[in-house]
């Protein structure tokens, strides 16, 4: 089974996040790291690959050149090959533009299964897979809490607000996995050493058959006007449970605010 | 601004989040339509009209019975194009997010998500999206039409303002690839009592309860207050309480009138799911718990002692 896993580089969680005052978008010049949610998708891909006799896991990333470090991490964890979509014209791409470029890159792979993590750790975006699937004209299932593949189809347990659904789709298809699906493995020393030797392709916009105006800000359909402060919650009260009086005080508070 | 609001349905009712978005749309403009996509959804049209839709488009088809996104994208794409809607709004959910993103790709339309407000500024639609753990609010817009938006769940309260709507039936023609994913087994509500998204009062429990059995304290207080029980991700992961009750980034976003957090430290992942609540009361023995930074009433003390007493007092009050 050939599996493409879409991964993203996000600002390192340990670095303070800030917005670029010029673009009003997230400042991505700080140290980057592989999006943690995507490691669950890599793990799911590796498990499916290792169940079968033959298979391949290809990590696909769109991002600036320095995001190659995150792709290398995906290879160190166990992906067999990497595809890096990188072009200056892609900077500032929104969902419409990103899904277009990514779909073109994935199309070249003719994978049986395309996997995503459940969200981007930086923008909290949790929608890309459905846009990519529509462009690829493939079935999509999101929020996969478990994923099995057999007999040319996948069977997914989807987490929703109401509990668990079971959904089946024939391959090729797109599945976004939740972080409850597995415990991702860490890269081994051998994996880290071997990552550099694994094949890595670089693709530009022209390699994908896209023009610069289909990417980046010109290819996007959304914009950011400005920033404002979040509404304040107002004054808050604090009470200590001295001598067991807290419960009475809570009832007084709720009653004076007409909540009981 | 011809606006279409997708109204999601669940177990024969329009979901509250969609109706809230519909109400907001009706505040912003006059030309407001809603669309129901499902099987046996026609009886819901009156209620949808009462919540602000002048026209209700109905695609009632067995192919739309299962809550799957792609057949809905097909119907919506044709509807938006043929009727010339310039704005399409969704109340966020697992299903709605996948529909909105699929539709964005299909129509090459801009999608802004996680919005907590919408306003018209000089005739231009502006959305507000909290970022960086809700420490700042970005004002976002669209560079072309149609404009698609996903509204954070629980943002707007539904209000009954409209009257009987005009009903328009919609043809259902689906793409081949849209019907390939099939529902084998559909989820049934696992939790008992009111669903946390619709509850006016929520009592939530976290790790500070110490063990799964102590959730009975939370359940007791919720029952006394006529509310629902919620849980943090940490305790759901630990298997203490079902996922359907999880509040936070990877669970539900709730905005009850009253939220009582019992033994919850208040990590950012939890905060984003409940900070829209009217009044937040937090009980935690750690005086430095982050949750106290965004609580209206911070109670420093032991949940095991306070919650049972509080339950008794509330019962006595409500019983009298």
Distance separating alpha carbons of residues A243 and B37, to the nearest angstrom: 57
SS3 for B151-182, per residue? ECCCCCCCCCCCCCCEEEECCCCCCCHHHCCE
Q: Is the pLDDT of residue A228 over 60?
A: yes
pLDDT at position A236 is 85
Answer yes or no: is A259 within a domain. Answer: no
Min distance A197 CA to chain B CA atoms (Å): 36
pLDDT at position B48 is 96
pLDDT at position A253 is 95
Distance separating alpha carbons of residues B59 and B46, to the nearest angstrom: 15
Confidence of residue B196 (pLDDT cuts 50, 70, 90): confident
Report the share of chain A in percent with pLDDT over 90. Answer: 77
pLDDT at position B213 is 96
pLDDT at position A234 is 72
Q: Are strands B124-131 and B136-142 parallel, antiparallel or unpaired?
A: antiparallel
> Which of A32-36, B86-90, B264-268 is predicted most confidently?
B86-90
Nearest by CB to residue A142, choosing from B94, B105, B299, is: B94
> Which of A13-17, A120-124, A125-129, A169-173 is predicted most confidently?
A169-173
- Tokens representing B25 are 């749309």
Distance separating alpha carbons of residues B271 and B265, to the nearest angstrom: 10
Q: Is the pLDDT of residue A209 over 80?
A: yes
Distance separating alpha carbons of residues B202 and B222, to the nearest angstrom: 7
Confidence of residue A65 (pLDDT cuts 50, 70, 90): very high
Min distance B59 CA to chain A CA atoms (Å): 21
Which residues are CB-contacts of A125 (< 8 A; sequence separation ≥ 6)? A95, A119, B113
Report the share of chain B in percent with pLDDT over 90. Answer: 77
Q: Is B102 at the interface with chain A, CB within 8 A?
A: yes
Report the share of chain A in percent with pLDDT over 70. Answer: 97
Confidence of residue A18 (pLDDT cuts 50, 70, 90): confident
pLDDT at position B267 is 84
pLDDT at position A114 is 98
Confidence of residue B104 (pLDDT cuts 50, 70, 90): very high
Task: Give the residue from chain B lying closest to A161, CA to CA.
Answer: B244
Task: Give the residue from chain B lying closest to A103, CA to CA.
Answer: B105
Min distance B251 CA to chain A CA atoms (Å): 8
Q: Are strands A9-11 and A32-34 parallel, antiparallel or unpaired?
A: antiparallel
Q: Is the pLDDT of residue A84 over 90?
A: yes
pLDDT digits (tens, 9 = 90+) for A90-121: 999 999 999 999 999 999 999 999 999 998 87
Distance separating alpha carbons of residues B162 and B167, to the nearest angstrom: 14
Confidence of residue B190 (pLDDT cuts 50, 70, 90): low
Q: Is the pLDDT of residue A75 over 60?
A: yes
- Rounded mean pLDDT of A245-260? 94
B139 contacts in chain A (CB < 8 Å)? 224-228
Answer yes or no: is A26 within a domain. Answer: yes
Identify the three-state secondary structure at position B263: coil
Cα separation of the two ends of chain A? 59
Q: Edge-to-edge, what's the strand order for the sheet holding A237-240? A: A237-240, B297-300, B279-284, B258-262, B201-205, B228-231
Nearest by CB to residue A226, choosing from B73, B101, B139, is: B139
Which residues are CB-contacts of B51 (< 8 A; sequence separation ≥ 6)? B14, B19, B22, B23, B26, B158, B159, B160, B161, B162
Bridge partners of A114, per DSSP, are A4, A174
B318 contacts in chain A (CB < 8 Å)? 260
A143 contacts in chain B (CB < 8 Å)? 94
Length of chain B: 320
Q: Is the pLDDT of residue A122 over 80?
A: no
Q: Which has the closest alpha carbon to B17: B93, B76, B98?
A: B93
Q: Tell which wins on pLDDT, B38 or B234.
A: B38
Q: Is the pLDDT of residue A61 over 90?
A: yes
Q: Is the pLDDT of residue B280 over 90?
A: yes
Q: Is the pLDDT of residue B189 over 90?
A: no
Phi/psi at A4 (nearest 5 deg)? -100, 130
Identify the three-state secondary structure at position A61: strand
What does the mean pLDDT of chain A come to?
Answer: 92
Partner-chain contact A94 B186, CB within 8 Å: no
Domain count within chain A: 1
Answer yes or no: is A161 within a domain. Answer: yes
Q: Tell which wins on pLDDT, B229 or B153.
A: B229
Report the share of chain B in percent with pLDDT over 70. Answer: 97
Task: State how far the alpha carbon of B281 is from the alpha carbons of A253, A254, B216, B265, B295, in Å.
Answer: 10, 9, 19, 12, 6
pLDDT at position B315 is 94
Answer yes or no: is A238 within a domain. Answer: no
Min distance A95 CA to chain B CA atoms (Å): 7
pLDDT digits (tens, 9 = 90+) for A24-57: 777 777 788 999 999 999 999 999 999 988 899 9
- Rounded mean pLDDT of B35-53? 96
Answer yes or no: is A22 within a domain. Answer: yes
pLDDT digits (tens, 9 = 90+) for B165-181: 999 999 999 999 999 99
Which residues are CB-contacts of B239 (< 8 A; sequence separation ≥ 6)? B212
Lowest mean pLDDT among A9-13, A82-86, B83-87: A9-13
Partner-chain contact A221 B258, CB within 8 Å: no
Question: What is the set of domains in chain B, with CATH numbers?
Answer: 3-179 (3.40.50.620), 201-319 (3.40.50.1220)
Q: Is the pLDDT of residue B305 over 90?
A: yes
pLDDT at position A242 is 81
Residue numbers of the domain that contains A141? 2-214
pLDDT at position B135 is 74
pLDDT at position A179 is 86
Rounded to 10 deg, the angle between the A95-107 and B94-107 helix axes is 80
What does the mean pLDDT of chain B come to?
Answer: 93
CATH number at residue A131: 3.40.50.620
Answer yes or no: is A254 within a domain. Answer: no
- Rounded mean pLDDT of A13-26? 75
Confidence of residue A7 (pLDDT cuts 50, 70, 90): very high
Identify the three-state secondary structure at position A123: coil
Bridge partners of B87, per DSSP, are B3, B147
A220 contacts in chain B (CB < 8 Å)? 110, 143
pLDDT at position A39 is 97
pLDDT at position B193 is 58
- Rounded mean pLDDT of A15-31? 76
- Rounded mean pLDDT of A171-196? 94
pLDDT at position A123 is 72
C-beta of residue B213 within 8 angstroms of C-beta of residue B239: no
Q: What is the pTM of this model?
A: 0.87
Answer yes or no: is A234 within a domain. Answer: no
Min distance A151 CA to chain B CA atoms (Å): 15
Answer yes or no: is A24 within a domain. Answer: yes
Lowest mean pLDDT among A120-124, A243-247, B44-48: A120-124
């Amino acid at each position: 089974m050939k599996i493409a896993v879409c991964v993203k580089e996000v600002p390192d969680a340990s670095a303070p996040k800030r917005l670029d005052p010029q673009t009003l978008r997230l400042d991505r010049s700080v140290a980057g790291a592989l999006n943690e949610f995507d490691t669950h998708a890599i793990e799911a891909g590796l498990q499916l690959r290792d169940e079968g006799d033959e298979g391949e896991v290809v990590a696909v990333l769109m991002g600036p050149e320095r995001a190659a470090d995150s792709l290398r991490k995906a290879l160190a964890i166990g992906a067999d090959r990497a595809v890096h979509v990188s072009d200056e014209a892609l900077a500032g791409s929104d969902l419409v533009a990103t899904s277009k470029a990514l779909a073109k890159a994935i199309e070249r792979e003719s994978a049986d299964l395309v996997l995503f993590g459940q969200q981007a750790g930086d923008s909290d975006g949790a929608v890309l897979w459905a846009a990519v699937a529509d462009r690829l004209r493939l079935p999509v299932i999101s929020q996969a809490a478990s994923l099995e593949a057999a007999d040319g189809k996948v069977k997914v347990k989807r987490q929703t607000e109401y509990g668990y659904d079971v959904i089946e789709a024939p391959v090729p298809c797109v599945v976004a996995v939740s972080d409850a699906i597995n415990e991702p493995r860490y890269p081994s020393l051998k994996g880290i050493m071997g990552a550099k030797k694994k094949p890595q392709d670089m693709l530009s916009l022209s390699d994908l058959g896209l023009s610069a105006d289909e990417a980046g800000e010109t290819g996007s359909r959304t914009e950011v006007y400005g920033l404002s402060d979040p509404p304040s919650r107002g004054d808050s009260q604090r009470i200590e449970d001295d001598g067991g009086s807290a419960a009475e005080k809570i009832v007084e508070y709720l009653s004076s605010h007409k909540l009981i | 601004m011809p606006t279409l609001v997708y109204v999601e349905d669940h177990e024969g009712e329009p979901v509250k989040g969609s109706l809230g978005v519909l109400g907001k749309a009706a505040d912003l403009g006059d030309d407001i339509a809603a669309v129901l996509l499902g099987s046996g959804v026609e009886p819901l049209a009156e209620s949808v009209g009462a919540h602000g839709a002048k026209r209700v488009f109905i695609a009632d088809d067995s192919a739309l019975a299962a809550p799957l996104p792609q057949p809905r994208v097909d119907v919506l794409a044709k509807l938006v194009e043929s009727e010339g809607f310039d704005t399409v709004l969704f109340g966020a959910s697992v299903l709605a997010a996948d529909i909105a993103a699929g539709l964005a790709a299909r129509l090459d339309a801009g999608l802004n998500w996680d919005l907590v407000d919408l306003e018209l500024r000089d005739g231009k639609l502006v959305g507000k999206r909290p970022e960086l753990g809700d420490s700042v609010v970005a004002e976002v817009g669209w560079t072309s039409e149609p404009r698609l938006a996903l509204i954070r769940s629980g943002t707007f309260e539904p209000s009954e303002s409209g009257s009987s709507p005009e009903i328009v039936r919609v043809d259902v023609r689906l793409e081949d690839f849209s019907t390939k994913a099939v529902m084998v087994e559909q989820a049934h509500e696992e939790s008992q009592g009111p669903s946390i998204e619709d509850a006016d009062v929520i009592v939530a429990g976290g790790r500070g309860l110490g063990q799964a059995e102590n959730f009975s304290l939370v359940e007791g207080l919720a029952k006394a207050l006529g509310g629902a029980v919620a849980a943090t991700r940490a305790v759901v992961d630990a298997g203490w309480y079902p996922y359907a009750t999880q509040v936070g980034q990877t669970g539900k976003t709730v905005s009850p009138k009253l939220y009582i957090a019992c033994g919850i430290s208040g990590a950012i992942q939890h905060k984003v799911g409940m900070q829209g609540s009217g009044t937040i009361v937090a009980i935690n023995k750690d005086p430095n718990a982050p949750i106290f930074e965004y609580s209206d009433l911070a109670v420093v003390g032991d949940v095991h002692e306070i919650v049972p007493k509080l339950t008794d007092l509330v019962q006595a009050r409500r019983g009298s």
